A = this chain, B = another copy of it.
Amino acid sequence: MKKFVNAVDNILAESLRGFAAAHADIVELSEKPVFVRRAGAPRRGKVALISGGGSGHEPLHAGFVGRGMLDAACPGQVFTAPTPDQMAAAAAAVDGGAGVLFIVKNYSGDIMNFEMGAEITGRENASIVTNDDVAVENSTYTTGRRGVAGTVLVERIVGAAAEEGADLAACRKLGEKVNGATRSMGVALTSCTVPAAGRPTFDIGDREMELGVGIHGEPGRKRVPLPAADDIAETMLNAIGGDLQPKQGAPLLLFVNGFGGTPLMELYLMYDAARRWCAGNHLTVARSLVGNYTTSLEMAGCSITLLQLDDDLLRLWDSPVHTAALRWGA
């Protein structure tokens, strides 16, 4: 296993200390239990947004803590759900009196532990479960569809609304609207290696691609010989578009997300392929996001996400955001 590591058991703690020190203007780290909170939280009267999940998907979620996005993130060990006490402690730390909204990717372990965290917090709360992955209906760790890179879009748009003063019910409703308008699918060219395992999660041939892979390396739809980039984009977007049924003339957000091991040069090439597919299908790409935002350690591959926008979502997307991994506006 070729990784920068001192001791496998300390990877998460050391990485989070580095993250918190590098972004001390934006976040603060709690070590026991582990969570990352927005500097200056709680904000009185603001709905507090909390997400979390297994580590190894960085910058998700801690990289999205800050103004206009999350108030706290609860990282578990690599590809392992955080424990309920983390969510309860984070809720206590960032609740400004307007309640807590948990944003949870649809994995059985996350669902269970976030539910328990919500129960023991004793605070007013609600939850959104993201399940944007159209690849498969059930999977290794999931009943129903998996929550993947589309979660970033939910966190951003609901984070914008919470920043503007939307109440808990409105934030939850908006989150469900965004999740419902979001579809994703991913492909992997190589496996990732979980540090505690020390070997690749799956084997894949030199000329093979896993179509519909999950963000932990879970199997997708099938193993295929590596196609040309345009064909990969077409296959993913046919699946996404067939499910989303985007409206012609209405604005879309096109998001090409790297899984960690694919060069930016190739991600922009995939974005170009996806953009041409949209143009060929008379679809309007109004906003774009390209980069490594929901990763699977060093896995080579990418996902494509489409989000159907409207005027309200456009405005919220464009409003200022200031986090370690996503920032724009004043």
Contact = CB atoms under 8 A, between A and B. Distances in A.
Contacts of A140: none
Of the candidates A3, A5, A18, A262, the one having the most CB atoms from chain B within 10 angstroms of its own CB is A18
A297 B4 contact: no
Given A2-B190, A4-B232, A269-B15, A298 B58 contact: no
Nearest to A275: B21
A197 interface: no
Interface of A: 2-6, 11-12, 14-19, 21-23, 55-56, 58-59, 63, 78, 189-190, 206-207, 209, 226, 228-230, 232, 260-273, 275, 285, 288-290, 292, 295, 297-298, 300, 302, 327-328, 330
Contact of A268 (B5, B16, B207, B267): B16
B262 A298 contact: yes
Top-6 shortest CB links A-B: A18-B272, A18-B268, A58-B264, A18-B271, A2-B189, A4-B266
A74 to B, nearest CB: 16
Of the candidates A230, A263, A271, A300, the one having the most CB atoms from chain B within 10 angstroms of its own CB is A263
A215 B15 CA distance: 24
Nearest to A190: B2
A269 B13 CA distance: 9
Contacts of A297: 263, 265
28 contacts: A2-B209, A2-B226, A3-B189, A4-B270, A5-B269, A6-B228, A6-B273, A11-B269, A14-B229, A14-B272, A14-B273, A18-B269, A18-B270, A18-B275, A21-B271, A21-B275, A21-B288, A22-B290, A56-B263, A56-B265, A58-B263, A58-B265, A78-B265, A261-B261, A262-B298, A263-B297, A292-B292, A327-B328
Nearest to A274: B18
Contacts of A55: 265
A263 B295 contact: yes
A231 to B, nearest CB: 9
A265 B228 contact: no
A58 B189 CA distance: 20
A205 to B, nearest CB: 10
Contacts of A190: 2
A262 B3 CA distance: 8
A11 B288 contact: no
A4 B58 contact: no
Contacts of A78: 265
A33 to B, nearest CB: 19
Given A268-B22, A290-B22, A328-B327, A262 B4 contact: yes
A327 B327 contact: yes
Contact of A14 (B189, B226, B269, B330): B269
A153 to B, nearest CB: 15
A293 to B, nearest CB: 10
A323 B202 CA distance: 37
